[in-house]
Chains A and B, each alone.
Chain A
Amino acid sequence: MLKQCEGSHAVAEAVAMCRPEVICAYPISPQTHIVEGIGEMVKSGELKNCEFINVESEFAAMSVAIGASAGGARSYTATASQGLLFMVEAVYNASGLGLPIVMTVANRAIGAPINIWNDHSDSLSQRDCGWIQLFAETNQEALDLHIQAFKLAEELSLPVMVCMDGFILTHAYERVDMPTQEQVDAYLPPYEPRQVLDPAEPVSIGAMVGPEAFMEVRYLAHAKQMQALERIPQLAEEFKVCFGRDSGGLTHTYMTDDAETIIIAMGSVLGTIKDTVDVMREAGHKIGVLGITSYRPFPLAAVREALKNCKRFVVLEKSLAVGIGGIVATDVRMAVTGMGLKGYTVVAGLGGRAITMKSLTAMLEKAGRDELDLVTFLDLDWKVVNKQLAREKEVRRSGPAAEAMLRDIGAVAARNY
């Protein structure tokens, strides 16, 4: 059924239709509306056979999810930003133990400086934690990916993060096609754990593993992610049969067949990029778009295939690997090893900086002429940066940098338009 609702609400409904048995979460913007929504459904009795557990922190949230999952319950939580960082030790445990928890990450920047707005720093900081990471382009895809995520997680006994852009998606009202409970039940079978803490058949989960087997256990985690590379496109196909629409998969391409330049990105910015490409195509620029849905496992072969006919690629990412440049770009470069392509990294949208068609157009025109720097910071205010650098050169006690830069800008309140 088509409905106009908030992204968080759409996700809350989708998660409820997946019949979770334990939900534990700690509120943090911009994730809060999701768990509030599910909490209301548990309280009203709309979501049955589900325990909603209030916890005192994100560390506790993930720890409860681990315990619940090990006890054989379908478990869900959601977080963002510092909340994700606070639960990191348990995040690694969930994947290390092979527990199929599903977690929404409402992507948000990481401080300091504190910032509640969107970028991908939080989930990308957990690049190597062993969780599958799927990125949604729209609220429809966010909703759909949660349904796929439970199936994928439970089949492989691996936890899955569904990443959706904080505020840009979570707080956006847009049209979604809400599936029926019957459709979800037909797609997602009940959870059959591979391992369960059962007094009738006692087992240990989480024993110490020494040098004799640690590498093998770790390799197994890698092997499972390689299995996920196979299963993710199949699950998207099965989803299409059940629900009648394309959602998920490893990657999405847009006008790549004859493209000389391909721009690669993750999440909601792909929409703005596609609109930009439509306009630029009319002006004769042969540009295509590659959206990466599955960031972990990283679809090396699919990326290589999508880029096989282009001359250059631009990775636009809402993240910064301080000291080198791009995070996603590094993976893309590995995918295209030996292909002789020109590659550019564009860091954009950090901490909610708007990514506009105007800036994308100028950047892509420059890329088309191969005049783009290898690493570009889109719409960076160099005046403010240079002023601070000069100040630090001049005075030893130059004071806190962020506050000085805010003063230089004359900011009275945050704005992004």
Chain B
Amino acid sequence: MFQVRIHGRGGQGVVTAAEMLSIAAFEEGRHAQAFPSFGSERTGAPVVAFCRIADKEIRLREPIMEPDALIIQDPTLLHQVDVFAGLKKDGYILINTNKTFEQLGLSDFLRDWHPERLCTVSATELGMKHVGRPMPNVPLLGGFAAVSGIIKLESVNKAIRDKFSGKIAEGNIAGAAEAFKIVRAEMKEALSHA
């Protein structure tokens, strides 16, 4: 079972991202379970959503306390919430930022991690560019398909078409594709230094 925890703020589509991740996995014939952290969230407040992906029925209903991967939709949460709580050693981390892990002050904490599993992408900018709204969630899913390899970009596109239609769907598909490309390049770069 592969477990993903998504951290963000109310209004950033955190819950939608987890749902779409589950749809993408479902499209590949896998079992998936997405659920929110059940809060009375409001715009700007820290929000958490979860997604489990497995090859058999998922019965477990506890929150994800030891994720295999983290998607952090808002880097300001790094100082407010213990986003790394329980993260498995060598887990995947994707952060929505135009900074590097080093610039975020995370290098020491993640020193002996696989470098190609630690990626960043300016997903808010990609949301603005492709959809005209500062929504980082869908581009991050494109980036997540790249860094984790757990789902294909085409499956993310199917999930996008399930949730959105018309121009917004097309914009999000373009945003996810660009994020995928950026993260792929970053991984290649990281491996070449390793």
User: A269, B39: Cβ atoms under 8 Å?
Assistant: no
Cα A148 to Cα B38 with chains together (Å): 29
User: A6, B19: Cβ atoms under 8 Å?
Assistant: yes
Cα A118 to Cα B189 with chains together (Å): 46
User: B38, A352: Cβ atoms under 8 Å?
Assistant: yes
A32 neighbours in B (Cβ, 8 Å): none
User: B59, A275: Cβ atoms under 8 Å?
Assistant: yes
Cα A3 to Cα B26 with chains together (Å): 8
Question: How close is A13's CB to chain B, nearest CB, in angstroms?
Answer: 15
Which residues 6-40 in B have Cβ within 8 Å of A in the complex? 15, 18-19, 22-23, 26-27, 31-40
Of B62-70, B89-97, B109-117, B119-127, the stretch lying at the interface with chain A is B62-70
B36 neighbours in A (Cβ, 8 Å): 167, 171
User: A175, B59: Cβ atoms under 8 Å?
Assistant: no
Which residues 325-357 in A have Cβ within 8 Å of B in the complex? 352, 354-357
Between B18, B33, B48, B59, the greatest number of chain A beta carbons within 10 A of the residue's beta carbon is seen for: B59
The answer to whether A4 and B38 touch (CB under 8 A), given A271-B60, A354-B62, is: no
Which residues 366-416 in A have Cβ within 8 Å of B in the complex? 413-416
User: A356, B62: Cβ atoms under 8 Å?
Assistant: yes
Answer whether residue A268 sits at the interface, using C-beta atoms and an 8 A cutoff.
yes
Cα A31 to Cα B102 with chains together (Å): 45
Name the residue of chain B whose CB is nearest to the CB of A117. B38
Query: Which residue of B34, B39, B63 contacts A414 across the interface (Cβ within 8 Å)?
Result: B39
Question: How close is A130's CB to chain B, nearest CB, in angstroms?
Answer: 30
Between A118, A172, A269, A416, the greatest number of chain B beta carbons within 10 A of the residue's beta carbon is seen for: A172
Question: How close is B10's CB to chain A, nearest CB, in angstroms?
Answer: 11
Answer whether residue B58 sits at the interface, using C-beta atoms and an 8 A cutoff.
yes
Which residues 23-49 in A have Cβ within 8 Å of B in the complex? 29-30
Name the residue of chain A whose CB is nearest to the CB of B63. A417
Cα A186 to Cα B149 with chains together (Å): 44
Question: How close is A401's CB to chain B, nearest CB, in angstroms?
Answer: 21
Answer whether residue B61 sits at the interface, using C-beta atoms and an 8 A cutoff.
yes
Cα A174 to Cα B18 with chains together (Å): 11
Which residues 171-185 in B have Cβ within 8 Å of A in the complex? none
User: B61, A167: Cβ atoms under 8 Å?
Assistant: no
Answer whether residue B45 sits at the interface, using C-beta atoms and an 8 A cutoff.
yes
- For B134-155 the 0/1 string (1 means CB < 8 A from A) is 0000000000000000000000
Cα A172 to Cα B50 with chains together (Å): 10
User: B61, A268: Cβ atoms under 8 Å?
Assistant: yes
A168 neighbours in B (Cβ, 8 Å): 35, 38, 61
User: A171, B35: Cβ atoms under 8 Å?
Assistant: yes
Q: Beyond A117-B38, A271-B58: 7 further Cβ-contacts under 8 Å?
A: A118-B38, A167-B36, A173-B35, A174-B31, A174-B32, A174-B33, A417-B48
Answer whether residue A181 sits at the interface, using C-beta atoms and an 8 A cutoff.
no
Answer whether residue B75 sits at the interface, using C-beta atoms and an 8 A cutoff.
no
User: A415, B37: Cβ atoms under 8 Å?
Assistant: yes
A2 neighbours in B (Cβ, 8 Å): 26
Cα A270 to Cα B38 with chains together (Å): 19
